């Protein structure tokens, strides 16, 4: 059985992905949230982890207007340059926080996580980005 926090996190991500607040979609989201397996061991939530969660929620609030801006920018101006960068995550992140980091990178239209891999203590995202060509 999953806790109410995990259920709310999974349901909120489902509603963000589907962008549909109908009763049928909420019921489907709850069913999927309950059927998904539980990941990782349960442990005591340290204050540092709570601080990381507050920080990631702030990043989500900032990412929404940024996503709209990038979407309009891509429609108005062509993007012809691509690059792949490596972005490390913070140390000692829980699996849920690593997932939210990946979700935030992929949420914006100009970036997508191509690969995620653990590298010792730190996990690394390989990110594909499109950029506008700067005129000389």
pLDDT tens string, the chain, 136 residues long: the values are 567 778 888 888 888 888 888 999 889 888 888 877 665 555 555 666 778 778 888 888 888 898 899 888 888 887 778 888 887 777 667 777 777 888 888 888 888 888 777 766 567 777 777 877 666 5
11 with 33: CB under 8 angstroms? yes
Is residue 4 located within the same domain as residue 18? yes
Q: How far is CA 136 from CA 79, 86, 97, 106, 132, in A?
A: 16, 27, 40, 30, 12
Is residue 12 located within the same domain as residue 59? no
What span, in angstroms and rounded, lies between the C-alpha atoms of 87 and 77? 26
Is residue 61 located within the same domain as residue 101? yes
Structural domain boundaries enclosing 14: 1-38
Which two structure tokens, joined as six digits, stand for 1?
């059985």
């Amino acid at each position: 059985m999953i806790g109410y926090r995990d259920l709310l996190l999974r349901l909120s991500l489902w509603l963000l992905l589907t962008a549909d607040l109908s009763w049928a979609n909420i019921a489907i989201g709850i069913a999927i949230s309950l059927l998904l397996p539980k990941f990782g061991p349960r442990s005591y939530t340290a204050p540092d982890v709570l601080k990381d969660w507050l920080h990631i929620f702030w990043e989500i609030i900032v990412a929404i207007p940024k996503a709209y801006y990038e979407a309009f920018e891509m429609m108005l101006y062509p993007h012809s340059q691509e690059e792949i960068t490596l972005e490390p995550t913070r140390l000692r992140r829980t699996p849920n926080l690593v997932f939210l980091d990946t979700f935030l990178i992929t949420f914006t239209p100009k970036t997508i996580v191509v690969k995620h891999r653990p590298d010792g203590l730190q996990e690394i995202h390989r990110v594909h980005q499109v950029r506008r060509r700067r005129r000389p």
